[in-house]
Structure 1
Amino acid sequence: MRKLIEDILYDRRKDAVTLPLRFVLRFFASVYNYVTSIRNFLYNKRILKAKDVPCRVISIGNLIVGGTGKTPVTMMTAKMLKEAGKSVVVISRGYKGQSKDPIVVSDGSSVLVSSIECGDEPHIIASSLQGVPVVVGRDRFAAAMMAYKRFKPDVIVLDDAMQHRRIYRNVDIITMDADNPLGTEYLLPHGLFRESPYSIRRAKAVVITRLTDEHNRERIERMVRYYNRNVLIFWSTNVAVGLREPGSSDKTGLDAVKGKKIAALSNIANPLSFYRLLESLGYTIVFKQVMPDHHRYTFAELDYIEKNSLKAGAELLIMTAKDERNFPADYNVKIIEKRVLDIEAVIVEEIEEYMKIIAPGIKK
């Protein structure tokens, strides 16, 4: 059933088998659209009022479910602000984390909790950004106020907060995957939209992520400008910054495994971008294992994956940082050598213009 629903969500099947379920999901999508539209109307007219935090707030979010590269863009934005001399705190929901109350993941100098407590993506952010505290909380306003009282930041960067309108933000930035900028045409639960694509009108900027030479930039820009003619559009790509052993922070050069046969493991929403990056580095992929987004691995699954990687002729198993965070805490089996590929998002042009959006008055 899950596979069938995913096929409908991603518009992969339009046949007699899916027709009845499509009809039901389309009805619920209409109800969902009605509810979200009324909610947005109430916020737009300030009948429902967003709550202020006493510092600048930047929201990085998206309009569709699944991965659009929000977390790398959040990290890139926080890093740019810090390098420009601003004190920054990142706030995240902490998706799939066990903590229900706001908690400090990092105080800027050390990571204080496990990925099980805070969720995999906040843990990645906390481990990657030195000097930037990270706080998670399902109530983003409560988390932001806690962060402000403790750290007194100049800027708070909200990770995945486009739909969390209860907290006021100075800037909304939407991320869109260059592979599939606007998903399918329907709202949840029939399609991928979390809210109407016309919500792009609330955004100050759109960042197109995971850009490659294969993407048609003019086509993507037309799609975006259909909903907001004046929005600023920036283009970003993911770059590999090093390989390391799971659990270690010591990176090795990317050329160390060039020419080797590898297995690729990914529990991210868009594994194709991961494969492209590996192949661009000159790695030969002989085995691929795709798991659901944020999947937590079991010992049995990892045993199967490692053994089948060897059987396919792989000399090395390369995974994402999100995979690493979802291994069992006491997993130390070494059937095959494993490495984590760390990545960063970078704006490919008009960096100064992006700085004007996130920190007016500061030149990069």
Structure 2
Amino acid sequence: MKRLDYYWYRKSPWLLLLWPLSALFCLLVLLRRGLFAGGLRRAYRMPVPVIIVGNITVGGSGKTPTVLWLADYLKQHGYRPGLISRGYGGQAECWPQSVTAQSEARQVGDEAVLLARRSGCPMVVGPDRVAAAEQLLAKHPVNVIISDDGMQHYRLQRDIEIAVLDGERRLGNGYCLPAGPLREPPSRLASVDFIVANGPARAGEWPLSLDGDEVLSLSGDRHCVLNDFAATPVHAIAAIGNPQRFFDFLRAKGLEVIGHDYPDHHPFAPGELDFTDPYPVLMTEKDAVKYLDHASERHWFVPVSASLPDQFGHRLLAALEKVNG
């Protein structure tokens, strides 16, 4: 997958050999969506509004920080949001699973633990988003559900769809899997309610920016700022959809980066990040939740927070008020 990812975003001509498979994939995707839209397959409506935060590409685009921003914004405006997700990478024996700040990433997935810790919202994960949403509502008095990913999970009816794009890599070569990175054709974006661009935004898109200067220790409650690491090289760890974004972020803060990119959701083994030199090791917050039990004093993580325009928030609240009647 990592090898294909390299070519998808460089528009390599040899990928045209896979175009027949991509055309078939697109056809099946459109057929499946049409079955739900036409009522031939049942979709389930929840008694509270459902907001889907997803994308049409494979890999990370900024969905998790967008969900965190939404949860915080809605709480500030009187809502009681709850979160659901697939729990990607989780190895629990039964689903759905409730997630708390103390949950183990290997059981429920790294992103789920991060979301539960940062948002303070009740959260349930499972491959069946409908079952996850029903358990969330049964256990918690939430009045709006935010789904981290799930744009293609049409069994769960949605009231608001937010598509998040990587503003730099965009849609790659524009092909569906396997010739390109798309889960659905580009035309799918015309049907969503909001398009958020993580990075440079185009007309009709809402720009999302990520920033943060604090650095926290995995092994305790120590904290400092990024500039404190400017005197020495640092190992940068990123097992996310676009590792280069994290490396560039650190370099923009003046750090000398030795980058180590891993597949998205990579399960780190004990000692895997114990390098032989004395340089500090900085990682994303999503990776940190998987390495807490193996960390030493040299392991740190860099939390980032999202920002979206005020007008985006106003439009979102108006859309929710319309759903609530």
TM-score (normalised: structure 2)? 0.90
- Aligned partners of 2:190, 2:290: CA distance in 1, in Å? 36
- Aligned partners of 2:214, 2:107: CA distance in 1, in Å? 27
> Kindly tell me: are residues 250 and 282 of structure 1, through their superposed partners in 2, closer, same or farther at Cα, counting changes over 3 Å?
same
Alignment of 1:1-364 (within 5 A): 4-11=3-10, 13-14=12-13, 19=14, 22-23=16-17, 25-99=18-92, 100-106=94-100, 111-130=101-120, 132-209=121-198, 211=199, 215=200, 217=201, 220-221=202-203, 233-240=205-212, 242-246=214-218, 248=220, 251-285=223-257, 287-299=258-270, 301-303=272-274, 306-307=275-276, 310=278, 314=279, 316-327=280-291, 330-333=293-296, 337-356=298-317, 359-360=320-321
> Kindly tell me: are residues 11 and 94 of structure 1, through their superposed partners in 2, closer, same or farther at Cα, counting changes over 3 Å?
same
Is 1:175–1:206's contact at 8 Å kept on the other side of the alignment? yes
Deviation track 1:235-293 (CA, whole Å, cap 9, x = no partner) reads 110011521111546643444434443221111111222122212323232x1111111
Measured after TM superposition, the shift of residue 332 of structure 1 is: 4.0
Measured after TM superposition, the shift of residue 194 of structure 1 is: 0.2
Runs of 4+ aligned residues of structure 1 deviating over 6 Å after TM superposition are: none
Percent identical across equivalent pairs?
Answer: 27
Measured after TM superposition, the shift of residue 190 of structure 1 is: 1.3
Q: Which amino acid aligns with 1:325?
A: V
Is 1:11–1:191's contact at 8 Å kept on the other side of the alignment? no
> Kindly tell me: are residues 357 and 197 of structure 1, through their superposed partners in 2, closer, same or farther at Cα, counting changes over 3 Å?
farther
> Kindly tell me: are residues 283 and 140 of structure 1, through their superposed partners in 2, closer, same or farther at Cα, counting changes over 3 Å?
same
Measured after TM superposition, the shift of residue 27 of structure 1 is: 2.2
- Aligned partners of 1:241, 1:27: CA distance in 2, in Å? 46
Deviation track 1:222-243 (CA, whole Å, cap 9, x = no partner) reads xxxxxxxxxx521110011521
Measured after TM superposition, the shift of residue 11 of structure 1 is: 3.9
Is 2:219–2:295's contact at 8 Å kept on the other side of the alignment? no
Deviation track 1:149-207 (CA, whole Å, cap 9, x = no partner) reads 11121100000011011111110000001111222221011110001111112200001
> Kindly tell me: are residues 242 and 12 of structure 1, through their superposed partners in 2, closer, same or farther at Cα, counting changes over 3 Å?
same
- 1:350 is paired with a residue of what secondary structure? helix
Gaps of 5+ in 2: none
Measured after TM superposition, the shift of residue 93 of structure 1 is: 0.4
> Kindly tell me: are residues 248 and 56 of structure 1, through their superposed partners in 2, closer, same or farther at Cα, counting changes over 3 Å?
farther
Is 1:241–1:344's contact at 8 Å kept on the other side of the alignment? no
Is 1:9–1:189's contact at 8 Å kept on the other side of the alignment? no
Is 2:218–2:295's contact at 8 Å kept on the other side of the alignment? no
Gaps of 5+ in 1: 222-231
Is 2:11–2:172's contact at 8 Å kept on the other side of the alignment? no
Q: Which amino acid aligns with 1:347?
A: L
- Aligned partners of 2:219, 2:99: CA distance in 1, in Å? 17
TM-score (normalised: structure 1)? 0.81
Deviation track 1:131-165 (CA, whole Å, cap 9, x = no partner) reads x1111011000110110111121100000011011
- Aligned partners of 1:333, 1:112: CA distance in 2, in Å? 20
- 2:273 is paired with a residue of what secondary structure? helix
Is 2:87–2:126's contact at 8 Å kept on the other side of the alignment? yes
Deviation track 1:72-113 (CA, whole Å, cap 9, x = no partner) reads 10111011111111111010100010124111102xxxx242
Is 2:218–2:296's contact at 8 Å kept on the other side of the alignment? no
- 2:212 is paired with a residue of what secondary structure? strand
- Aligned partners of 1:332, 1:317: CA distance in 2, in Å? 10
> Who is 1:229 aligned against?
none
Measured after TM superposition, the shift of residue 56 of structure 1 is: 1.0
- Aligned partners of 2:143, 2:97: CA distance in 1, in Å? 20
